[in-house]
């Protein structure tokens, strides 16, 4: 399992647009095949950092998911929404794998 963590730098005056963007992905991402952990908007501390986190089984599954997302009507609409509203200032993806498993008491 691979986890994609997207770090966004958002315009702090457009937090509500980011939250709408996040809710849209909350519908489209699972429908297109990724396991969405969630989208997270600023609350305390930084006013411009936000995150999206989802899991896929492999990079091949990621490519299939991205193809489905590009064809999904809400996915396309959400990309266009971000472009027109310009609330995303920067976006960086990191791919991680779980290194701490198994969790819990091993005795």
pLDDT digits (tens, 9 = 90+) for 60-91: 999 999 999 999 999 999 999 999 999 999 99
The residue that leads in pLDDT, 101 or 5, is: 5
The residue that leads in pLDDT, 106 or 59, is: 59
Compute φ and ψ for 19, nearest 5 degrees.
-65, -35
Distances (CA, A) of 14 to 4, 6, 50, 65, 98: 24, 18, 12, 28, 33
Class of 2-97 per CATH? alpha beta
* 55 pLDDT above the threshold of 90: yes
- pLDDT-wise least confident of 8-12, 50-54, 98-102: 98-102
Cα gap 6→9, rounded to integer Å: 10
Assessment of whether the complete model's pTM goes beyond 0.75: yes
Percent of the chain with pLDDT over 70: 98
């Amino acid at each position: 399992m691979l986890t994609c963590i997207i770090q966004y730098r958002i315009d702090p005056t457009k937090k509500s647009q980011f939250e709408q963007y996040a809710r849209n992905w909350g519908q489209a991402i699972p429908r297109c095949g990724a396991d969405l952990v969630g989208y997270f908007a600023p609350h305390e501390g930084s006013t411009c950092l936000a995150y999206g986190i989802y899991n896929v089984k492999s990079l091949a599954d990621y490519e299939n998911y991205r193809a489905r997302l590009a064809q999904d009507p809400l996915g396309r609409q959400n990309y266009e929404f971000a472009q027109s509203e310009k609330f995303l200032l920067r976006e960086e993806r990191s791919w991680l794998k779980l290194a701490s498993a198994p969790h819990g008491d091993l005795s």
